[in-house]
Chains A and B, each alone.
Chain A
Amino acid sequence: MQRFGLDVLRHVAGGSAACAEACAEAGAATAIVAAIRAHPDEGLQAKGCAALLAVAAGSAACNQVVTAAGGEAAAAESAAANPTHAVIQRCAADLVALRARASLAADVAMEALLLEEAAEKGGSGSGGRQSKASRKRESQRLRKAAAAHERELPALVEAAVDGAQMEAPAEEVRAAAAELRVLGDPEPTEHTETAQVAEMPTVTAPTAAALGLPSMMDDTSTLGGGTTCSICFMGTKSHVAVPCGHQFACGDCAGVLMKKGELCPMCRGVISVFIQVHVC
């Protein structure tokens, strides 16, 4: 569920600098960092890193908030844990670059301020006047440079986030879409007719990647790294489809699939029957 919230924050923060600042003020950075650290799932971590980047891109102040919340460190940890995930790697690197650029802009602005103060205190006489004018020119140049750095921040990160999205594997996108369809179903309740309609599990199952299968595993396996039902994410993945042999559903969801005569969501094969598996 958290990944969808992270997605909302990423899109909202990307709306404008003011939006990113509003997100930063709302405590988005700490919430995103907590989500990244709490969930090892690489899909969620990628969304979290992208959201952090979107918030940090708002302004130098936003960047400071993200850094103070441990955003850069969390992204670095995520990048270390997922060395092959392009989006995470890109976001972690861009967060570092963004912080370095913001720091440079702050340094330049501070230097300009010091020069201005020195110019104000400059000596009298022609030599003093020349020195004062020279310092003022240098100060103006530095201020322009600092402003240019500030202006470059959002553009840099916008390009980075876009690039990261472009590089997202097609399989990941499909998996996310499948999960969205599954999780978008309203919660089953026992109160009203409408609630019962809302809670009907969708027949669209997530792909193997949505189940968090490690890349080194056999692609045909549907047990993978989790035993939770791939349809509702609530029951145990206790039923195996015959004849294809894919094990992806709990008893309730298997019953719904059979009733509707759906194909196996993993291989699109016809399902004759589901068999409950008892692992000893």
Chain B
Amino acid sequence: MIRMVQRGSKCAAAVADAGGTSVLVAAMQAHAQNVDVQNVGAATLSRIMESGAVSAQEVVNEGGIAPTVAALRVHQSNVILLTAAYCVLGNIAEASAANARAVMHAGAALAVVAALRAHPSEQPRP
């Protein structure tokens, strides 16, 4: 799915139209401990939102906040996953104040602060 999304905004829109967002969220929820699933899921969600194929509100409606915050909390050792999760949550929280509150209620503030403290380096890899 991420390979299709990477091909461009039209492909990302096709993925979104086919219900890709809900599948991604479901996969992230079902495999919370699998770092690869979380990694690809967060990155694909981020790219779909960046391409404009899916709005932040649609991701919120599909329940995308909770698994992303959970990934941030559970897989703190994977900095690339953290970056992708940051992008997803940042896009969502930026969209509206209501979304920002939803992200906060999901526990993002604590998770982000913990991640910032765990990885003081700016680079994605030491």
- Chain A positions within 8 Å of B, measured between CB atoms, are 1-9, 11-16, 18-19, 22-23, 25-28, 31-32, 34-35, 38-39, 41, 44, 180-181, 183-187, 189, 191-192, 194-195, 197-200, 202, 228, 233-234
Contact at B100–A14, with CB atoms within 8 Å? yes
Contact at A186–B101, with CB atoms within 8 Å? no
Contact at A197–B79, with CB atoms within 8 Å? no
Residues of B within 8 A of A15 (CB): 93, 97-101, 103-104
Contact at B104–A200, with CB atoms within 8 Å? no
Tell me if B16 counts as interface (CB < 8 A to partner A). Answer: no
A186 to B6, CA, bound (A): 12
Pairs A-B, 3 closest by C-beta atoms: A15-B100, A187-B80, A11-B93
A199 to B108, CA, bound (A): 25
Contact at A183–B124, with CB atoms within 8 Å? yes
Closest chain A residue, CB of each to CB of B93: A11
A39 to B40, CA, bound (A): 28
Contact at A14–B112, with CB atoms within 8 Å? no
A25 to B122, CA, bound (A): 24
- 18 A-B pairs whose Cβ atoms sit less than 8 Å apart in the complex: A1-B82, A1-B124, A2-B119, A4-B83, A5-B115, A8-B112, A12-B89, A13-B100, A19-B101, A23-B113, A34-B116, A35-B116, A39-B122, A183-B87, A185-B80, A186-B40, A187-B80, A202-B6
Apart from A9-B109, A12-B89, A186-B80, what 11 extra A-B contacts exist at CB < 8 Å? A2-B122, A4-B90, A11-B103, A15-B104, A16-B100, A19-B101, A28-B109, A34-B116, A34-B120, A38-B120, A185-B43
Which chain B residues in 29-87 approach chain A with CB under 8 Å?
Answer: 36-37, 39-40, 42-43, 46-47, 50, 78-84, 86-87
Q: Which of A5, A32, A195 is in CB contact (< 8 Å) with B40?
A: A195
> When A and B form their complex, what is the total count of cross-chain residue pairs whose Cβ atoms lie within 8 Å?
161
Tell me if B26 counts as interface (CB < 8 A to partner A). Answer: no
Contact at A18–B101, with CB atoms within 8 Å? yes
- Chain B positions within 8 Å of A, measured between CB atoms, are 2-3, 6, 36-37, 39-40, 42-43, 46-47, 50, 78-84, 86-87, 89-90, 93-94, 97-101, 103-104, 108-110, 112-113, 115-117, 119-125
Contact at A7–B101, with CB atoms within 8 Å? no
Given contacts A197-B3, A198-B40, A233-B123, contact A26 B113 (CB under 8 A): yes
Residues of A within 8 A of B79 (CB): 1, 187
Residues of B within 8 A of A9 (CB): 109, 112-113
In the assembled complex, the CB of A33 is this many whole angstroms from the nearest CB of chain B, namely 11
Residues of A within 8 A of B93 (CB): 8, 11-12, 14-15
In the assembled complex, the CB of B39 is this many whole angstroms from the nearest CB of chain A, namely 4
Residues of A within 8 A of B99 (CB): 15
Residues of A within 8 A of B39 (CB): 186-187, 195, 198
Given contacts A1-B86, A15-B101, A198-B2, contact A234 B36 (CB under 8 A): no
Contact at B113–A1, with CB atoms within 8 Å? no
Residues of A within 8 A of B110 (CB): 26
Residues of B within 8 A of A34 (CB): 116-117, 120
Residues of A within 8 A of B124 (CB): 1, 183, 187, 233-234
A211 to B115, CA, bound (A): 24
